[in-house]
Amino acid sequence: MERSSGILLHITSLPGNYGIGTMGKEAYHYVDFLVESGQKLWQILPLGHTGYGDSPFQCFSAFAGNPLLINLEKLVEKKLLKKDELPGNLSFDPEYVDFGTVVDYKYPLLGKAYQRFKKSASRVGQMQFEKFCIKNKLWLEDYAFFMALKNHHEGKPWSEWDQEIKLRKEDAMNRYRDHLGDQINFFRFLQYVFYHQWLELKSYANINDIKIIGDMPIYVAFDSADAWANPEVFQFDENMNPRAVAGVPPDYFSETGQLWGNPLYDWNYLKETGFQWWIDRIKANLLLYDFLRIDHFRGLAAYWEVPFGEKTAIKGKWVDAPGEELLEAINESLGILPIIAEDLGVITPDVVELREKFELPGMKILQFAFDTAEENDFIPHNYDKNSVVYTGTHDNDTTLGRFLESTEEEKQLMRDYFNIDENDPVWSFIRLAWASVSNMAITPLQDILRLDSSARMNFPGKPSGYWKWRYRSEMLTAEHALDLLKITQTFGRR
């Protein structure tokens, strides 16, 4: 990790004409802004195919990309769509994603693109598609079959499907494969397009000396191809119902904890198989990203186990996890990896010991530094170089929103510590992050734009209503790039 800095912005938050950020020209313009402002890092949220609630941390697959991020204009360039087929009579809010509307107009167009590909793809195009399917067969077949089945069952979670296909009985599997063959191939095609567009964009970023920090949730969603196709990996009973689910105890964000509902791993099975499922997942993620942030890293030391059926996370308990053995197996198989540990929340000595043993950088959040008069790990003079400092993350309020809610005591701490400019408090926080000893410094784009709480990306523990924020292209100016370039040069991060 060289001394560097960058901006946190998810793909969905990019501007554009059709209701959601995509991997089109606006993404390339954003890379150009990063270059102009002297940045080296672009951090994004998980790229997965989102399900209920639209959270990128609850996806239908730990491997598949989100088809909603596919850029339609690029399909026009490939002659898979016609320009006059793009939506011209829909009115989209330029600052918020309406996921339902996007799904309703986009999937029929993706279906048209698929039909044209089947009829008119060149021999080379067909061979590239076939090669992609073979190369990614490990996860692609389960995902495509799962999504076709889900459509067939009108979107119901797999736990509510007919018993024979829920339990993957061989006769039912063969029958449904035959019946849904074209739908299965449609979802293969969507992943082929997604990967092509994403890797093209990533290549453009890398050529311009911008590295991508990706985000990998520690758990997978219960309603996912991973859980349905690999039940042995999880703590399921004989009917494939969870015995317990994941969450976190009461904390800063919630008095009742957070009940995530994700299935927990059967670590004994994973150990017996050399952690191969995890190794495959990490390997696939490192095709997509240059650095990989493991969300909820503390769950590799010990995880909060909540009995299935509980309404809150209060009655959970801590259970030890074999994180050391897992990371050793990953390193042995794939080498020393560019992993960032999200070590926030209830952090105990075993979590710190695990992170330090593998020399993984942890995270420092400046918004947490001034919550109390007591010295804490988030105050900059306690940082070490092997860390990533953030003004805030996607789970926090914007820095302006947080400052406006600060008590007078908290504001006095800021005045005493770094002489905060109360006319532009956000820039003072960004400058403090850039000045710190942390090797990496990241700020959300909302903070660059000095936006208030209305631009908040997520609120942990709230199942819906978030992940919607977007910026308009005119909001990001040459002045922003110049100001950022100056402090990046001043503090040696360019």
Catalytic residue among 215, 223, 342, 343: 342
Active site residue 251: no
Catalytic residue among 142, 226, 295, 397: 295
Catalytic residue among 142, 223, 226, 395: 395
pLDDT in tens, 29-67: 999 999 999 999 999 999 999 988 899 999 999 999 999
Boundaries of every domain in the chain: 4-216+273-289+322-490
Residue 492's pLDDT is what? 97
Comparing C-alpha atoms, which of 214, 204, 202 is closest to residue 338? 214
Residue 464's pLDDT is what? 78
* HSE-CB of 165 using CA atoms within 13 angstroms: 21
Residue 269's pLDDT is what? 98
CATH number for the segment(s) 4-216+273-289+322-490: 3.20.20.80
Residue 346's pLDDT is what? 80
Residue 460's pLDDT is what? 86
Residues of the chain predicted below pLDDT 70: 253
Residue 234 φ/ψ, nearest 5 degrees: -120, 165
Comparing C-alpha atoms, which of 375, 397, 399, 379 is closest to residue 389? 379
Residue 250's pLDDT is what? 86
Residue 241's pLDDT is what? 94
Active site residue 182: no
Residue 278's pLDDT is what? 98
Active site residue 377: no
Residue 462's pLDDT is what? 81
CB 383 within 8 A of CB 436: yes
Residue 178's pLDDT is what? 97
